Chains A and B, each alone.
Chain A
Amino acid sequence: MTRRDLLLAALAASPAGPGFRLTDVTGAAGLSFQHNTGGFGAKYLPETMGPGCAFLDYDNDGWLDILLVNGQDWPGHRRQRSTPRLYKNNRNGTFSDVTKSAGLDVEMYGLGVAVADYNNDGFPDLYFTCVGQNRLFRNNGKGAFLDVTAQSGLGNRQSFSTSAMWVDIDRDGHLDLFVCNYVRWAAAQDVFCSLDGKTKSYCTPEAFRGTTSWLFRNRGNGTFEDITARSALFDASSKSLGVAMLDFDQDGWPDLFVANDTQPNKLYRNNHDATFRESAVRSGVAFGDDGRARAGMGVDAGDFRGTGREAIAVTNFDNEMMGLYEAVENGFSDRAYAAGVGVPTRSHLGFGCLFFDADLDGQLDLLAVNGHIDDTVRNLNRGIVHAQSPNLFRNLGGGRFRDVAAEVGAEFFAPKVGRGLALGDFDRDGDLDVLITTNGGPAYLYRNDLSNGHRSIRFRLEGRKSNRDAIGAVIRIFGTGGPQMRTIRCGSSYLSSSSLAATFGVGTLSTVERVVVYWPSGRSDEFKNLPTGRTYHCVEGGAPGALDYR
Chain B
Amino acid sequence: MRSPTGRLVAGVLFTLVVIAAYAAYTLNSVRRMREVQAGTIDQNRKGALQLIRIQGDLNALALAMRDMLDNLDGYPLTAWSGQFDRIHGNLDDAIRVESTLSGAGRDPRQTAYLLSSFSQFWDAVEHMTKLAQSRQEREARELIRESLLPRQEALSALTARLLVRNNEAEQRAAQEILEIYDGIERNAYWFLALSVAMVLAVGITVIRSNRALFDQVTELSNQRRELARQLIATQEATLRAISRDLHDEFGQILTAVGAMLKRADRLAPAEFKEQVRETSTVVQEALEKIRGLSQSLQPVILEEQGLAAAIEWYVSVFQRQNGIIVRYQSPESLPDVEPSAAIHVFRILQEALNNVARHTRVREVTVQLQNGPAGLVLAVQDAGGGIPVSFKPGIGLAGMRERAALVGGKLDIGTAPPSGTRIALTLPLAAAPRGGADA
Q: Which residues of A contact B (CB under 8 A)?
A: 184, 209-212, 228-229, 232-237, 278, 281
Contact = CB atoms under 8 A, between A and B. Distances in A.
Contact of B82 (A209, A210, A235, A281): A235
A235 B73 contact: no
Given A235-B82, A278-B86, A229 B75 contact: yes
B67 to A, nearest CB: 5
Contact of B64 (A229, A237, A281): A237
Given A228-B75, A229-B76, A236 B90 contact: no
A236 B63 contact: yes
A228 B73 CA distance: 11
B79 interface: yes
Contacts of B90: 281
A234 B82 contact: yes
Contacts of A184: 72
Main secondary structure of the interface of B (DSSP, over half): helix
B73 A212 contact: yes
B83 A234 contact: yes
A209 B86 CA distance: 19
Contact of A236 (B64, B78, B81): B64
Given A278-B86, A281-B90, A234 B72 contact: no
B370 to A, nearest CB: 73
A229 B67 CA distance: 14
11 contacts: A211-B73, A229-B78, A229-B79, A229-B81, A234-B80, A235-B83, A236-B63, A236-B64, A236-B67, A236-B80, A237-B60
Nearest to A211: B73
Contacts of B79: 212, 228-229, 234
B92 to A, nearest CB: 13
Contact of A278 (B64, B80, B82): B82
Given A229-B78, A281-B90, A237 B72 contact: no
A331 to B, nearest CB: 16
Contacts of B60: 237
Interface in B42-91: 60, 63-64, 67, 72-73, 75-76, 78-83, 85-86, 90
Main secondary structure of the interface of A (DSSP, over half): loop
Closest 9 CB pairs of A and B: A229-B79, A232-B82, A234-B79, A236-B67, A229-B75, A235-B83, A278-B86, A234-B82, A237-B60
Contacts of A278: 82, 86
A211 B75 CA distance: 12
Contacts of B67: 209, 236
A531 B252 CA distance: 134
Nearest to B76: A229
Given A229-B79, A232-B82, 19 more contacts: A184-B72, A209-B63, A209-B67, A210-B63, A228-B79, A229-B75, A229-B78, A229-B82, A232-B81, A232-B85, A234-B75, A234-B82, A236-B64, A236-B67, A236-B73, A237-B64, A237-B83, A278-B82, A278-B86
A408 B269 CA distance: 141
B334 to A, nearest CB: 81
B360 to A, nearest CB: 76
A497 to B, nearest CB: 26
A211 B72 CA distance: 10
Interface of B: 60, 63-64, 67, 72-73, 75-76, 78-83, 85-86, 90
A163 B64 CA distance: 24
A233 B82 contact: yes
A210 B90 CA distance: 19
Contacts of B78: 229
A228 B82 CA distance: 10
A278 B84 CA distance: 12
A281 B90 CA distance: 9
Nearest to A235: B83
Candidate in B64, B78, B79 with the most chain A CB atoms within 10 angstroms: B79
Candidate in A184, A210, A237 with the most chain B CB atoms within 10 angstroms: A237
A211 B86 CA distance: 16
Contacts of A233: 82
Contacts of A234: 75, 79-80, 82-83
A228 B86 CA distance: 16
A176 to B, nearest CB: 18
A2 B76 CA distance: 67
Contacts of B80: 234, 236
A493 B60 CA distance: 29
B418 to A, nearest CB: 63
Contacts of B81: 229, 232
Nearest to B82: A232
B82 A237 contact: no
A229 B68 CA distance: 13
Nearest to A231: B82
Nearest to A275: B82
A305 B83 CA distance: 35
A233 B81 CA distance: 10
B427 to A, nearest CB: 77
Contacts of B72: 184
Nearest to A276: B82
A281 B57 CA distance: 13
Contacts of B85: 232
Contacts of B64: 236-237
B36 to A, nearest CB: 25
B72 to A, nearest CB: 7
A275 to B, nearest CB: 9
Nearest to B80: A234
A163 B83 CA distance: 22
Contact of B63 (A232, A237, A281): A237
Contacts of A236: 63-64, 67, 73, 80, 83
A290 B72 CA distance: 34
Nearest to B64: A236
B90 to A, nearest CB: 7
A383 to B, nearest CB: 31
A232 B78 CA distance: 10
B351 to A, nearest CB: 81
B290 to A, nearest CB: 104
A75 B84 CA distance: 38
A210 B66 CA distance: 12
A99 B216 CA distance: 114
Nearest to A181: B73
A97 B58 CA distance: 53
B82 to A, nearest CB: 4
A161 to B, nearest CB: 13
Contacts of A212: 73, 75, 79
Contacts of A229: 75-76, 78-79, 81-82
A229 B76 CA distance: 8
Nearest to A278: B86
B125 to A, nearest CB: 16
Contacts of A237: 60, 63-64, 83
Contacts of B73: 211-212, 236
Contacts of B76: 229
B141 to A, nearest CB: 15
A281 B86 CA distance: 10
Nearest to B60: A237
Nearest to B67: A236
Contacts of A281: 90
Contacts of B75: 212, 228-229, 234
Contacts of B82: 229, 232-235, 278
A244 to B, nearest CB: 20
Nearest to B53: A291
A283 B11 CA distance: 64
Nearest to A184: B72
A234 B64 CA distance: 11
Nearest to A236: B67
B148 to A, nearest CB: 16
Contacts of A232: 81-82, 85
A310 B196 CA distance: 66
A229 B71 CA distance: 14
A236 B79 CA distance: 10
Nearest to A212: B73
